[in-house]
Amino acid sequence: MAILITGVAGFIGSYTAKALLEKGKKVIGIDNLNNYYDPALKKARLLQLDKITSGSFQFYKADFSEAQRLNEILKEHDFDQIIHFGAQAGVRYSLINPKAYGESNLMGHLNILELARHRAIAHMVYASSSSVYGNRSLLPFKVESQPDYPVSLYAATKRAGEMMSESYAYLYRMPLTGLRFFTVYGPWGRPDMAMWIFTQSILNHQPIMLFNHGDMQRDFTYIDDIVSGVLGVLAHPPVDDGKEKAGGSINPHSLYNIGNNRPEKLQDMVKLLEQACQRKAIKELRPMQAGDVYATYADITAIKQDIGFEPQTSLKDGIPRFVEWFCHYHDRI
């Protein structure tokens, strides 16, 4: 039976679809191809998926926050798993256009939960975010902690999605798994992320802005490691046995961190980019921005214990791969 993926033209969604298609799975993909960042990149990702399929991939341009449209396009399809990675992304953009986050991350998430409920889905995996932890000083971030003090609307909507999912797991005994992703990077990544912005600026001899005067840390996680975790979790739905799950629920609802389990200093990331680009960065030191956090650091104990997840790619190895892809991609277009 097929697997439904929302946000299939996105960074993580497209990689996940590719991995499933290469395993011989059938994938139904939904994406609204919005202009939060260049839709041409999203379409290019979809072209990559088309190259590896033999009729196993069906794509629909649709907005999952529109329930009627969602149900119309899916009524003729059978699927028993949902990977819900579609969302309005971006911490800083949530300060500018908060309504978009309510529509996509709240109403949209509810629509997918309702779809899963009425279809009696065997397992729904959804994207949360490391941003739910806010500005916690206690590191690393543990899934058992209660991250109820978000510092951005984006983080608040992601935490709300977790709580909505918990209520559905309790009320309808639906197997649900939320994944708190930590600073994902790699080829085909997002243009609004620091890795892309810094690479583009360094190659074009333009200044890069280092917030908090460069004194920040991030748990950078390579895309291949993320997908490995996603597929592992997908194959292990939480059991409705009344026992406590990762994240603390006694309902069939697990929460996992997926990170590299190693925070890296922003300045060290820039040095690796300089080496890969073979150019020096022009740095502009700026104060901390609203909604941003000083550090992220994933405790991955739970996902290690439950599915054997182990990240394989260091920042030193991952950055050259991204820069090489970045240069090829921009030469091509």
Which pLDDT value is given to residue 225? 98
Which residue range forms the structural domain that includes residue 160? 2-184+221-261+297-312
In the prediction, which pLDDT does 148 show? 82
186: left (phi over 0), alpha (psi -120 to 50) or beta: left
Residue 250 has pLDDT above 60, yes or no: yes
pTM attached to this predicted model = 0.95
The secondary structure of residue 261, as a DSSP letter, is S
Does 201 reside within a domain?
A: no
Q: Is 14 contained in some domain?
A: yes
Q: Is the pLDDT of residue 128 over 90?
A: yes
Distances 114 to 128, 164, 253 between C-alpha atoms, Å? 18, 11, 16
pLDDT given at position 54: 72
pLDDT of residue 333: 41
Closest to 37 (Cα-Cα) out of 154, 197, 191: 191
User: Does 107 reside within a domain?
Assistant: yes
What integer best gives the mean pLDDT of the chain? 95
Q: What percent of the chain has pLDDT above 90?
A: 86
**pLDDT category of residue 52 using cuts at 50, 70 and 90:** confident
Determine the average pLDDT of the residues in 2-14.
98
CATH number at residue 22: 3.40.50.720
Average of per-residue pLDDT across 53-78:
93
Does 327 reside within a domain?
no
Helices (H), 204-284: 223-234, 266-277
Q: How many domains does the chain have?
A: 1
Question: Catalytic residue numbers?
Answer: 154
Alpha carbon 225 to chain centroid distance? 12
Kindly state the average pLDDT of the residues 305-332: 95
Angle at 152 (CA atoms; ends 150, 158), nearest 5 degrees: 65
**How would residue 55 be classed by pLDDT, with cut points 50, 70 and 90?**
confident
Residue 266 lies in a domain: no
161 neighbors 178 (Cβ within 8 angstroms): yes
Amino acid occupying residue 135: N
Whole-number percent of the chain with pLDDT over 70:
99
Q: Is the pLDDT at 332 greater than 80, yes or no?
A: no
Going by their DSSP bridges, the two strands 217-218 and 264-265 should be labelled as antiparallel
Pairing type for strands 57-61 and 27-31 reads: parallel
